[in-house]
């Protein structure tokens, strides 16, 4: 094997970062029509404060599995969860929209009935990890199916609306669907909640069978996404779903020399050629096939296409010994007489080189997002089977991040997140509930302030020096509102003083 084909120099990675940065800017300005990185709005405005409290539902449709979770959140305590897991049947994955969402609604409502919660109208955060055009926190239209789904009648339809219609058709329970998110947004929020140091997270990344990332952006920069919004967005920040898996779809991967002829072959024979190029270079789904193609050319021409899944890379790198690698090859029915010690060492080296290439690309993409964060300490939450289970992968990512982000300018802290798609969805439901309560309290306070300022007695001549008792009572209510406002929105003394001039 020409190791140089997979070797990525620091200069190559920095060139990739510059191109990716440019594509991200184009995505924020014009969406998928202008860039291979879509930069989709999530409409999630902030991280959890740690004061979230209550009982919330989370539902995660990822790959072929569905999870329904009941989460109890209390300040300063570990989240308590009860959950139900199932596999989406083929008739739903390849049927029509009604079949799929009726099945999802049935699983959700069966879970609620079993836990005697069917009449509670609990807030639900729905993790739906497929590319969507999102126009509000609870409204998103599916752009295309991935991960094996071919359900008819869902593309270009509002996913939340389809779910709510299915819940109504079932008729046994009340559910308040407050947010639809993808798994990277959930990972980012869950990492912030788990971060005991600063209670925040700036980037959330998934490296599994696919890869993607989200990060916190100034809402003023999310021009294309907010132009499509169906509701006003009053917040300064927003989590942006990059959909960076599409990077390279315009030929950038070849131009930047981050792909090889083996990657080109994998793409040509894939289910969707020319789509999700970066996904195929980084994530676990195609890694095993790339290794197989290299081995086929070098030493083992009798490997069948698709016969070397990524799990074998994990097994080989997890136990670096000739005996263990030989046992893995035995599983593949490779005759031992064709495999000497030198050949086995070559198999190990190919696995290591392909894995390292993937980790370097992932690190460069994360480093690109770090450049967008104007903070001295940057917290990155990462989840996903490839990142957590592939031996040395986490180490390779972290070490390359240190090389690509100047430590004298910014320090990167990596948080390995557990179940971001579940915890994150529940936490976002909690954030939405908190923001709604704050907004209602603020509106109530404004009404009180307006009523007090138009008191009839206050308008009468000669009454300016002596306020009647009803005004005094209302002034007390206003002070109460002001203190609440300060607590919710972090007002300083000057803000407080300006509010109290009446």
- Residue 379's CATH number: 3.40.367.20
369 lies in the same domain as 475 = no
Residue 204 burial by Cβ neighbours in a 10 Å radius (0-12, 13-18, 19+): buried
470 lies in the same domain as 333 = no
Known catalytic residue: 218? no
361 lies in the same domain as 483 = no
252 lies in the same domain as 374 = yes
Q: What is the pLDDT of residues 23-77, one digit of tens each?
A: 999 999 999 899 999 999 999 999 999 889 999 999 999 778 899 999 999 998 8
Known catalytic residue: 147? yes
Partners of 152 in the β-ladder: 96
Does any domain span residue 25?
Answer: yes
Does any domain span residue 377?
Answer: yes
473 lies in the same domain as 368 = no
Does any domain span residue 224?
Answer: no
In this prediction, residue 28 carries a pLDDT of 98
Q: What is the pLDDT of residues 155-172, one digit of tens each?
A: 999 999 999 999 999 999
Sheet with strand 175-181: strands edge to edge: 80-87, 65-73, 54-62, 122-128, 175-181
Domain boundary residue, one of 365, 393, 416: 416
Does any domain span residue 101?
Answer: no
- How far apart are alpha carbons 461 and 472 in whole angstroms? 18
Does any domain span residue 376?
Answer: yes
275 lies in the same domain as 335 = yes
Query: What's the pTM?
Result: 0.86
What's the longest Cα–Cα distance across the chain? 109
Domain boundary residue, one of 365, 388, 416: 416
Residue 243 makes CB contacts below 8 A (sequence gap 6+) with: 37, 38, 39, 40, 131, 212
In this prediction, residue 248 carries a pLDDT of 97
Does any domain span residue 345?
Answer: yes
In this prediction, residue 118 carries a pLDDT of 95
406 lies in the same domain as 467 = no
Asked if 247 and 278 touch (Cβ cutoff 8 Å), the reply is yes
Number of domains forming the structure of the chain = 2
The ranges of the chain with pLDDT < 70 are 1-2, 300-304, 439-502
**Catalytic residue (choose from 183, 241, 279, 383):** 183
404 lies in the same domain as 465 = no
In this prediction, residue 441 carries a pLDDT of 60
In this prediction, residue 26 carries a pLDDT of 98
In this prediction, residue 307 carries a pLDDT of 82
Does any domain span residue 228?
Answer: no
Q: What is the pLDDT of residues 69-109, one digit of tens each?
A: 999 999 988 899 999 999 999 999 999 999 999 999 999 99
**Catalytic residue (choose from 26, 34, 147, 199):** 147
Does any domain span residue 84?
Answer: no
332 lies in the same domain as 475 = no
Three-state secondary structure along 222-236? CHHHHHCCCCCCCCC
Domain boundary residue, one of 388, 416, 444: 416
271 lies in the same domain as 383 = yes
In this prediction, residue 3 carries a pLDDT of 72
Structure tokens at 119: 């009449």
Range of the domain at 495: 454-499
In this prediction, residue 443 carries a pLDDT of 63
Phi-psi region of 250 (alpha: psi -120 to 50; beta: other; left: phi over 0): alpha
Owner of token pair 């990462």: 382
259 lies in the same domain as 407 = yes
324 lies in the same domain as 392 = yes
């Amino acid at each position: 094997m020409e190791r140089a084909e997979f070797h990525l120099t620091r200069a190559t990675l920095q060139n990739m970062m510059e191109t990716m940065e440019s594509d991200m800017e184009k995505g924020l300005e014009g969406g998928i029509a202008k860039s291979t990185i879509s930069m989709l709005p999530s409409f999630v405005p902030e991280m959890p404060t740690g004061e979230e409290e209550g009982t919330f539902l989370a539902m995660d449709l990822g790959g072929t599995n569905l999870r329904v979770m009941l989460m109890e959140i209390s300040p300063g305590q570990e989240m308590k969860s009860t959950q139900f897991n199932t596999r989406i049947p083929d008739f739903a994955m390849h049927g029509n929209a009604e079949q799929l969402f009726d099945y999802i609604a049935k699983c959700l409502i069966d879970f609620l009935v079993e836990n005697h919660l069917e009449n509670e109208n609990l807030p639900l955060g729905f993790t739906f990890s497929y590319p969507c055009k999102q126009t509000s926190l609870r409204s998103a239209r599916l752009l295309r199916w991935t991960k094996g789904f071919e359900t008819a009648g869902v593309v270009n339809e509002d996913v939340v609306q389809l779910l709510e219609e299915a819940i109504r058709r079932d008729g046994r329970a009340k559910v308040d669907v407050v947010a639809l998110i993808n798994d990277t947004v959930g990972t980012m929020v869950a990492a912030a909640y788990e971060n005991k140091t600063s209670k925040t997270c700036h980037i959330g990344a998934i490296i599994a069978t696919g890869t993607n990332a989200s990060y916190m952006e100034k809402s003023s920069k999310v021009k294309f996404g907010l132009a499509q919004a169906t509701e006003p967005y009053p917040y300064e920040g927003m989590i942006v779903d990059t959909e960076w898996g599409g990077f390279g779809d315009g030929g950038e991967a070849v131009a930047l020399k981050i792909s090889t002829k083996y990657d080109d072959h994998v793409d040509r024979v894939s289910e969707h050629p020319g789509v999700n190029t970066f996904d195929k270079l980084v994530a676990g789904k195609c890694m095993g096939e790339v290794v197989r193609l290299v081995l086929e050319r070098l030493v083992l021409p009798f490997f069948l296409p698709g016969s070397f899944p990524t799990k074998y890379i994990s097994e080989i790198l997890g136990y670096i010994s000739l005996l263990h690698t030989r046992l893995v090859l035995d599983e593949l029915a490779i005759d031992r007489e064709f495999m000497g010690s030198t050949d086995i060492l070559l198999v190990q080296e190919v696995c290591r080189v392909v894995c390292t290439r993937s980790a370097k690309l992932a690190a460069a993409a994360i480093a690109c997002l770090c450049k967008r964060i104007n903070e001295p300490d940057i917290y990155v939450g990462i989840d996903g089977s490839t990142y957590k289970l592939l031996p040395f992968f986490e180490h390779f990512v972290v070490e390359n991040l240190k090389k690509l982000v100047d430590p004298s300018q910014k320090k990167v802290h990596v948080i390995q997140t557990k179940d971001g798609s579940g915890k994150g969805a529940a936490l976002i439901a909690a954030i939405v509930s908190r923001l709604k309560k704050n907004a209602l309290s603020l509106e109530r306070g404004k009404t009180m302030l307006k009523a007090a300022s138009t008191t009839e007695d206050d308008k009468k001549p000669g009454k300016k020096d002596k306020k009647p008792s009803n005004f005094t009572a209302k002034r007390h209510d206003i002070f109460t509102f002001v203190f609440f406002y300060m607590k919710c929105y972090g007002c300083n003394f000057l803000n407080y003083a300006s509010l109290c001039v009446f």
